[in-house]
Structure 1
Amino acid sequence: MPSSRLAVTCALAAAFLPIPVALAVALLQPPAPHSTSLSDLPQVVPEPPPAEVVRKELAALTVEAPHPLEGYSRDKFEHWAAENRWPKIQEAVLRRDAKAVSPDTRARTASQHWHSPYDDRILTTASEVHVDHVVPLANAWRSGADKWSPARRHKFANDLSTTQLLAVSTHANWSKGNKSPDQWVPPNAAYHCVYSRAWTHVKFTYGLSVTEKEKAALNSMLDTCP
């Protein structure tokens, strides 16, 4: 089968498979010319700005009612764009956020695990892990992304330069869904400071709006910062 047809077939198949399987399928594709290697992508989770900076960012955000969800689709954020970029980003996040476990005395090989900051859970298999958009795509759509170009939406959905993508437990990710901080907060209260800083900084970076209730919830979580 020609490489171009193989790439298309793999991409279509991966779109309907769970994350670990989809990533495995993506790895079967021939590398795209001039594509970025995983080793060139960030190797640590970016730290959001400190609380005093984030408070100023939050104060600068436009406060308005949510935009209509009409017309929204995850496809509008180009998850399955050229070079199958999203599966590559998923793998990069899984690799970035994985933590090594000391080699077992019998197996003599090191394994990996993930710490889900939302619910303070240790995850030992990739099937337990989801890559979460801290600011969900649907929330972004309702706070300004409905007016963006496809290129800007694609950048937002695959952004590793801010704390926008995190490896978390599937349970926490399903519980959160598309909810904003006035509707859902991480069960792990110790993470509220980082979560509010990350959420606010992402919205500030991309010029997204907040609602009155959302802003109040973020301010409340920022109060937990040292």
Structure 2
Amino acid sequence: MTAPLGSFPALGSRRRLATVAVALPAAMATLLPLAGCAATTQQGPGEIGSATTVSATVSADQAGARPAAGPARPDVEPLARAAKFTGRYSEAVSALRRGAEVRDGYEREEFTHWVDADSDGCDTREEVLAAESLGGSTASAGPGCDVTGATWHSYYDDQTFTDSSDLDIDHTVALAESWDSGARAWDDQTRERFANDLGEPRSLIAVSASSNRSKSDQDPSEWMPEHQQCRYLRDWVTVKVRWSLSVDRAERAFLRDSLTSCPDKKITVRRARIVKDAAGTGGGTGGGTAGGNASGAVKVASVVYDPPGSDDESNLNAEVVALRNPSSAAVKMGGWILSDAADHTFTFPTFTLAAGSVVRIHSGSGKATDTDLFASYGHVWNNSGDTVTLTRSGGSIADSVSYPGGGSGRVDY
């Protein structure tokens, strides 16, 4: 049985939602069957169809293949081929690392594009337009790599174009989103390879300028195309797996909910080689994750859970996780994340933990000092047991400990 469209969660609004010009189908509030075509009368299992267009054309996503396109894109990956991920869509979603988004230091200039990586005279935009052109034998490349006699299909909004100037080349995972999700810790060359990723056709896609600008830098929990939504989600997950990018709480929940609506198709993608910035700060002109190190030996020192008294503001700051830097060097912790098993997270501001020092993270609010920070996430360290995870700005785990709970107490590590 085809799952209803209502099985997708309602899209939220966390940033720039007011800029969205193209609304989702009105049927988001109704039970429209899922389909991979542009017509409500031609739906197949597991894909989302259009709420506004009636057409007898079945999309390539429903048929199991994409439309025939122009010449294959050159694979200009300059580094050694990395391992492949092969698994079902559900397995790819499960493989994504969880982490809070950190926008600090982002500038679009951190990602050099468009480049001519294979030195054939055509830059990345021109390579994608040539590869995705649908003109067949009538299409030809003219001076300056312009493709003439071709058409392009924008699957986001099911529009066809004959003038490439009406198209944008969309980064499936936007540059700003990639920065939030881990690219801030990459070196300049890795960010350039991501921004010009011709080695994976799902990374870059030619779409209408209006749909691309409607999307902006939003993730699927905030924006979805009107058409072929399951294809879009698979492409999104594929790119995040390829580039080892994390997902935040709302994004992760949305992707998990999509598992009941989208077919569990096989995904195969070659993982990109990631080179971290030597300083762990993101490099470039934009600064990075508030100066956070992508490495460092900070450990969980203790947890004070379920302090005596009723769980209200009066004892909130008595609930504490203490972290220790046992090394002989200071560690910059801007962009590091402290989290529990229920996805409550605290992202460190610009902060340096001196060698041999301890910082305490309180569950309530207060004025930050060199020894005390305040997460403001309420009572989370309870008496039923929990797991404390400390994640570095580059995404690696610095420490993870669990405590069994029981009454009020303190556990030292």
From the CA coordinates, give the structure whose radius of gyration is larger. Answer: 2
Q: Determine the structure 2 residue equivalent to 1:117.
A: 155
Q: How far is the alpha carbon of 1:157 from its aligned partner?
A: 0.6
Which residue of 2 is the match for residue 198 of structure 1?
235
CA change 1:134–1:41 in 2 (3 A) is same
Matched residue, 1:165:
204
- TM-score for both structures, normalised by structure 2: 0.39
Given that 2:115 and 2:124 are in contact with CA atoms closer than 8 Å, whether structure 1 keeps it comes out as no
- The equivalences for 1:92-103 within 5 A come to 92-100=127-135
Which residue does 2:106 correspond to in 1?
A: 72
Matched, 1:128 2:166: yes
CA contact (8 A) 2:74 2:118 kept: no
Q: How far apart are 1:87 and its partner, in Å?
A: 6.5
Question: What's the RMSD between the two structures over aligned residues?
Answer: 2.8
Query: What is the letter of the counterpart of residue 179 of structure 2?
Result: W
Identity within the alignment, %: 36
Unaligned runs of 5+ in 1: 1-37, 43-48, 104-109
Structure 2: gaps (5+ residues): 1-70, 76-84, 139-147, 264-413
How far the C-alpha of 1:89 sits from its partner, in A, is 0.7
For the structure 1 residues 131 and 40, does the alpha-carbon distance in structure 2 shift closer, same or farther, using more than 3 Å as the test? closer
- How many angstroms apart in 1 are the aligned matches of 2:108 and 2:171? 12
Aligned counterpart for 1:183 among listed residues 203, 215, 222: 222
Give the letter aligned to residue 177 of structure 1: S
Where 2:104 maps in the other structure, the secondary structure is coil
The secondary structure found in structure 2 opposite 1:75 is helix
1:219–1:123 Cα change, 3 Å:
farther
TM-score by length of 1: 0.68
SS at match of 2:88: helix
The one of the two structures with greater contact order (alpha-carbon pairs below 8 A, sep at least 6) is 1
Write 1 or 2 for the structure with the bigger share of strand: 2
Q: Please state whether the residue corresponding to 2:123 is helix, strand or coil.
A: helix
The residue that corresponds to 1:174 in the other structure is: 213
Number of equivalent positions: 173
Cα deviations across residues 22-62 of structure 1 (Å, max 9, x unaligned)? xxxxxxxxxxxxxxxx98716xxxxxx89x62321221212
Question: CA–CA distance in 1 between the matches of 2:116 and 2:155?
Answer: 31
Aligned partners of 1:196 and 1:222 also within 8 Å: no
Please report how far the alpha carbon of residue 123 of structure 1 lies from its aligned counterpart in structure 2 after TM superposition. Answer: 1.3
CA displacement at 1:146 relative to structure 2 = 0.5
Displacement of 1:220 after TM fit?
3.4
